Amino acid sequence: MSLIAPPPPAPLIALGDGDDARRLRFRLWQCVATGFTVLVTAWFCTFGVFPAILALMVAKHILVAILIMGLEEAEKQKAEM
């Protein structure tokens, strides 16, 4: 019966693998990209109703893509542990 049981979980030792700089750089890139998207969208909103609607539609997709990239990065980091 011991062959059917799953293996024991790996011990959580030595998690500090020096990847903090890459994570920080990625989070800063996310913040800069989000800020730039919001600023450009606000700038387009000053042109009138139709450019504002188009800018908001495009910005929504860009912001969701940035969010999904961050979620996938977190999942990849969990998988590496």
Note the pLDDT of residue 58.
97
Burial classification of residue 14, based on how many CB atoms lie within 10 Å of its CB (0-12 exposed, 13-18 middle, 19 or more buried): exposed
Over the stretch 71-81, which tens digit does the pLDDT of each residue have? 887 677 666 66
Note the pLDDT of residue 60.
97
Over the stretch 10-60, which tens digit does the pLDDT of each residue have? 766 655 566 778 888 999 999 999 999 999 999 999 999 999 999 999 999
Indicate the pTM of the whole model.
Answer: 0.69
Joined together, the tokens standing for residue 46 give: 């000053």
Distance CA 27, CA 22 (A): 9
What residue segments make up the domains of the chain, in order of their start?
A: 21-80
